[in-house]
Amino acid sequence: MSDQSRHNGIFVGVDGSVSSKLAVEWAAREAAMRNVALIVVHVAYPAIGAWSGWGIPAAPLPEEFGRLQEEEARRVVDNAIDVVDAAIEGNDRVEVDSEILWSSAVPTLVDLTKEAQMVVVGCRGRGALARGLLGSVSTALVHHAHCPVAVIHDEAPHPRGLAGAPVLVGIDGSPASELATAIAFDEASWRGVDLVALHTWSDADWRHSGFEWSEIKAAARETLAERLAGWRERYPDVIVHPIVMFDHPARHLLEKSKSAQLVVVGSHGRGGFAGMLLGSVSTAVVNAAQVPVIVARQR
């Protein structure tokens, strides 16, 4: 695969788990929709005992062990490619490549995101508790990736059940929110669905302003309309439903997500700073939503 294909492609991390299978299905449809390459990546940690704690070779493991490990890695990747073939429909064609890397999953995948258009992961891996929050790999990626991260939840309805449902984006006026808005318009346009743009005013914004809530809401609607105007001109095919709510942005986003097919959030909001990891609203949504969530991280 060319370097250009890698930079324009979608990477999906696979480990053989249920979450991984759902991530591959979503990533395959996303790559077909965008007409970009799909790179299936499996990161397998080198066999314990192959190296000592001082970074020098220890007693070698039996060759049979290494062979079995390689066979398992190849099986995980081959199964993922079978899932890709089953997920795309009709005349859709996706350029598919695969990589097996022998290293620690988190730093390896974070480094790969420097080359990707998007990275897709399941919410939990094989080692995660069934009802836990995000797994360690997905958590690390939404905090440290160098491109947008799509997290696919086990509870997500089947895509056919979401056909026609809108894309939902949280907008707060931050730079990360602007990137989220760009991604959300793209996704809505590709899918041919409406876009719900939710802006939430906080308690601090209102109670210390000296204005009535009706005045604040009118001003917020005007501000939201201004922020959406340029994007509406760029995407005349997307019908936008702007919504202004009071306080508790995560709660409102999660409630609206129940009738959406995809949620897009910024990596941090107005109260964040350039080097912070993930905002509280984004953290709550990516952990609790049942539909796919894209966290708008950037290089």
Residue 272 structure tokens: 């964040």
Helix (H, G, I), strand (E, B) or coil at 74: helix
36: CATH: 3.40.50.12370
Report pTM.
0.85
The pLDDT tens digits for 25-49 are 999 999 999 999 999 999 987 765 5
Q: How far is CA 171 from CA 206, 253, 254, in A?
A: 17, 10, 14
Do 164 and 263 lie in one domain? The reply is: yes
Percent of the chain scoring above 90 in pLDDT: 53
Distance CA 30, CA 20 (A): 15
| Statement to judge: residues 173 and 45 lie in one domain | no
Residue where a domain stops, chosen among 100, 126, 152: 152
Q: Are residues 205 and 145 in the same domain?
A: no
Per the structure, how many domains does the chain have? 2
pLDDT, averaged across the chain: 83
Q: Which of 110, 169, 115, 120 is nearest to 145 (CA)?
A: 110
Radius of gyration (C-alpha) of the chain in whole angstroms: 21
Nearest CA-CA partner of 170 in 236, 214, 229, 227: 227
**C-alpha distance from residue 226 to each of 179, 231, 265 (Å):** 16, 10, 19
User: Which of 133, 152, 171 finishes a domain?
Assistant: 152
Q: Which residue has the tokens 């022998």?
A: 102
Q: What pLDDT was estimated at residue 44?
A: 87
Are 130 and 8 contained in the same domain? yes
- Domain with 273 in it: 159-296
pLDDT at 128: 44
Q: What's the pLDDT score for residue 67? A: 80
Residue 272, pLDDT score = 38
